[in-house]
Each structure stands twice: as structure tokens, then as C-alpha cells.
Amino acid sequence: MGKPDDYLQTETIRWTWWCIGAATLCFLGMSLRGICFGFLGEGVTLKVRTLLYKSILEKNIGFFDERENNASVLTSSMAQDSSLINGVSTESLGPYTDAFFALFGGLAIGFYWCW
């Protein structure tokens, strides 16, 4: 039978590799989340800007004579509205997806190990 120090060292190395693997999976998951929500936010922003631009072009010419409807105000509001929607999709949905996968990942690990 081996020395107790050998057992402790092998167990320490084994659990170190498990922690490195878990950290790598977390890194890959967070990177994938950032990429996916980035593409989602870009698509939503493009769609919102397209719809806003179409609605502005369909306005009557007299609409633009008013001071609150000049070109700089309309483009500024278009940029703010689309960036606000992009922020909502990435900042509010991201933590919910993290919580969802953490909950069900924890339950899956717990049931696998006969919790």
C-alpha cells in the first residue's frame, strides 16, 4: 500500500484538474453567451432602425417643419431608441440564461451523483 502523502497528492492533482476543466467550461460558456447575444442585439437593432427609418420616410412633408421633428432630433432619437433596445436584450436576458443553466446544470449533476 502507498504512503498517505501519495494519496493526498494524487487526489489534489485530480481535483485541481477538475477545477481547471470547470473554469474552462465557464469561460467557453460566457464567451458563447457574449457572442450569441451580440448577434441577437445587432439583428434587433438593425430591425428597429429599419422600421423607424421607414416610418420617418412615410411622414407628411409638413411633419418636418416643426422644430421637434427636425433631422438632428429624429436621428438622435433613432440612435437612442435602437441602442436602448439592444441594451435590454443583452443586459437583461444574459443573467436569466446564466441562472437557467446554473440551476439545471446543478440539478443534472446532483441527480447524476444520486443526490
Residue-averaged pLDDT of the chain: 84
- Report which of residues 88 and 101 the model is more confident about: 101
pLDDT at 90: 64
Burial class (CB in 10 A: 0-12, 13-18, 19+), 86: buried
pTM beyond 0.75? no
pLDDT at 109: 86
Residue range 62-97, pLDDT digits in tens: 888 888 888 888 888 888 877 777 776 666 777 888
Number of domains making up the chain: 1
Residue 69: strand, helix, or coil: helix
Residue among 99, 95, 101, 100 at smallest CA distance from 34 = 95
Residue 96: strand, helix, or coil: helix
Domain boundaries, position 13? 4-112
Q: What is the mean pLDDT of residues 31-45?
A: 84
Residue 59: strand, helix, or coil: coil
DSSP 63: G
- Report which of residues 108 and 34 the model is more confident about: 108
Q: Are 48 and 80 in contact (CB under 8 A)?
A: no
